[in-house]
Amino acid sequence: MIPAWRSTSLPALAFAIALAAVAACDSSQPKPAVGGGAVPAEFQAGEAKFNAHCAACHGPQATGTQQGPPLVHKIYEPNHHGDAAFLRAAEFGVRAHHWEFGNMPKIEGVSSGDVEQITHYVRWLQRQAGIS
């Protein structure tokens, strides 16, 4: 015979494990950058340009805000949104299609070289979060 405390604890434990598994698989939330260490030197120029031109909407370390989506998200992984998509977004803007933040305007004052550096920084953040 199973003690009464065990028969009530097992279903609760099973529920807690299932809930944790579902939360861990929730891909709608951005994954934070792993480690939180210093940005390597080769990505620091991109980080500075991201902070100046992108972070107001896409958040610190591309984690998203109320104004724009996280770029550290599987939707923006290289095989779904290639590097050229970042350049087109900055140059022409983007109609809303994955998120409900509204359309992204084109970004004035950034060169294709700037966007390339920003993209390298974002790709580094994605790799730190296990997105490749």
Domain locations in the chain as residue ranges: 4-128
Q: Where are the alpha helices (DSSP H) in the chain?
A: 4-24, 41-53, 55-58, 83-92, 112-128
Q: How confident is the model at residue 18 (pLDDT cuts 50, 70, 90)?
A: very low
pLDDT of 22 over the 70 cut: no
Instruction: Give the tens place of pLDDT for each residue, 27-50.
Output: 444 444 445 679 999 999 999 999
Q: What's residue 32's pLDDT?
A: 43
pTM over 0.75: no
CATH number of 4-128: 1.10.760
Whole-angstrom distance, CA of residue 91 vs CA of residue 97: 17
Instruction: Give the tens place of pLDDT for each residue, 80-132.
Output: 899 999 999 999 999 988 888 899 999 999 999 999 999 999 999 999 999 98
